[in-house]
Amino acid sequence: MNGAAARRKARDTFFSLIGTRPVVMGIVNVTPDSFSDGGLFDAPEAALAQAKKLVAEGADIVDVGAESTRPGHTPVPAEEEWARLAPVLARLVESAGAPVSVDTYKAETARRALAAGVCVVNDVWGLQRDPGMSDVVAEAGAGVVVMHNRESADPGLDIVADMLRFFERSLDIARKAGVSERHVALDPGIGFGKTREQNYAALRAIPVLLRLGFPLLIGVSRKSLFKDLPSGTMDGRLVGTLAANLHAAMAGAQIFRVHDVSEHKAAFAVLQILRGGAATS
């Protein structure tokens, strides 16, 4: 099987799961400064071991990022971003045991990653930061996650209306480039350019966002939104993450980008049983 065919097969494997059960995207950051796991997996061997661990725990796809996008992050030039990704991606595609996506908003990084076998581009600027991104995705026949983002938070903004406008622009860009709508997912961008209340409003707006007709990815894992929650002896960010993702699943979201795969697989299995179905793997 040639590279393009293998990429399409991996893409279709991922998208075929959407709607059958909660789909779990495991996070591998090859960065020195990500808020939760910066510096832990920037060595290729560590990244590969972590990816295999997440897949063994039940991750359906592994999302690899080489630039932290946490608030206050330092932007990374494309060449440096690729220097972090290059030693890792081909090995992950070959050995992780699941499809691989790349977390980047730079077209050149995405082009190189897709050539290495990645099948989905996770763009935190929703095809609107780099004008070449939509063409790169279309030419490779790749999947894309379109995330809502803002340069800064505006407390007076109707965040749901802003997300809808943003997604309409992104989807128009995708259509004009020839990106297949069957391979697009949307992400409300929790923690990106929003106040705390706007983040909660975005999570409550999942049914509204679903009316656009695309699957929703939720990325709330370990975010500061939950850092002050009372949690007894447990990790407050994990408890908040699980609660938010269970809420999102019940509201209709389909994909969940997480650090803690085994905990989410267990929680989703219980949710499935309580909703009247058999637990799924």
Catalytic sites, residue numbers: 223, 257
Q: Which of 182, 170, 169, 90 is nearest to 142 (CA)?
A: 182
Long-range contacts of 111-115 (CB under 8 A, 24+ apart): 111/136, 111/140, 112/82, 112/85, 112/86, 113/85, 113/89, 114/7, 114/140, 114/142, 115/3
Are 42 and 30 within 8 A, CB to CB? yes
Residue with token string 């076998």: 117
Rounded distance, CA 216 to CA 260, Å? 19
Rounded distance, CA 83 to CA 78, Å? 9
